[in-house]
Amino acid sequence: MEQNFDSAAWYSHGNTLYGLGHYEEAIAGYDKVLAMQSDLYEVWSYRGYALENLGRHQEALASFDQALKINPEYSLAWHGKGIVLAKLGQFEPALGCFERTLRLTPSDLRAQYNRGNALIHLRRYEEALLCFERVLKVAFNDYKAWYSYSKALTSLSRNEEALSSLDKALAINPNCYYAWNQRGLVLIQLQDYDRAVASFDRSLTCKPNNPDVWFSKARCHALKGETSLAVNYLYQAIKLKPHLYRAMARGDAHLRQLLPQATVPMSPLSK
């Protein structure tokens, strides 16, 4: 990237701030560079990533598009655009961006992982499995890949394999609260309710105020016929996110009838 001294200094400054997580200040630095040289596709891309980290998705897309207008073969911009599109729930175009990234940079494991997650959202589970297998062949200790692999397996009703994958993820990162929650959900599918509750408890140890886990735990106790416990745990979920978990309870055959009891404080229980 050819730059004059001033733009190079601002670029370096912006990258330092980006690395520190100071995204607003990094964007200001990148803007200084682009005010002097507007054809620097790398800067447009890093600006896009900074905006994405701030949740400013439309502005991020505009930055990535500007980078790609200058250099249509810049894989980092394609990848960034795919990440933003996925966060916006636009999984089909996001998948196209990840595939373009991989055509340009076949060894990009993060793009392969993100492609797999996009395929899960598109319910193309067998293809998703292949993506995660490619990642794990190179990075066997990537616990996020093992977790996502388990989600694809669960969607194919391959629950024993999903459980094994989650155990691998948790051996690598025992504090991964969402993997413990997923493990509990898989164990519910296997009708192993006591081990499911133990998994939910581990998840809550890692992240106590997670309404997803309180809801899952409520459902597990409802399936066991333990109404009082189910009501208490459903109340915990509703207390944290009232509208969402009331709606989810109404849609669940095992929790719907407990909803009236779970809208008032219950006696405190241990996990």
What was the pLDDT predicted at 92? Answer: 98
Contact between 117 and 148 under an 8 Å Cβ cutoff? The reply is yes
Site of tokens 């998994």: 199
Contact between 203 and 210 under an 8 Å Cβ cutoff? The reply is yes
- CA–CA distance, 247 with 259 (Å, rounded to integer): 10
What was the pLDDT predicted at 263? Answer: 74
What was the pLDDT predicted at 2? Answer: 46
What was the pLDDT predicted at 5? Answer: 46
Q: Please give the average pLDDT of every successive group of 10 residues along the chain, which has 271 residues.
A: 64 90 95 94 97 98 98 98 98 98 98 98 98 98 98 98 98 98 98 97 96 97 96 95 95 93 60 46
Provide long-range contacts, Cβ within 8 A and 24+ apart, for 239-242.
Answer: 240/209, 240/211, 240/214, 241/211
What was the pLDDT predicted at 265? Answer: 55
Phi and psi at 175, nearest 5°, equal -100, 15
**CB neighbours of residue 84 within 10 Å:** 23
Q: Which residues contact 266 (CB under 8 A, 6 or more apart)?
A: 231, 232, 235
Structure tokens that stand for 110 in this block? 């993060």
pTM, two decimal places: 0.89
Q: Which residues contact 265 (CB under 8 A, 6 or more apart)?
A: 235
Helix (H, G, I), strand (E, B) or coil at 72: coil
What was the pLDDT predicted at 104? Answer: 98
Mean predicted lDDT score pLDDT of the chain: 94
How many Å from the N-terminal Cα to the C-terminal Cα in the chain?
Answer: 56
Q: Which residues contact 253 (CB under 8 A, 6 or more apart)?
A: none
121: which DSSP letter? H
What was the pLDDT predicted at 10? Answer: 83
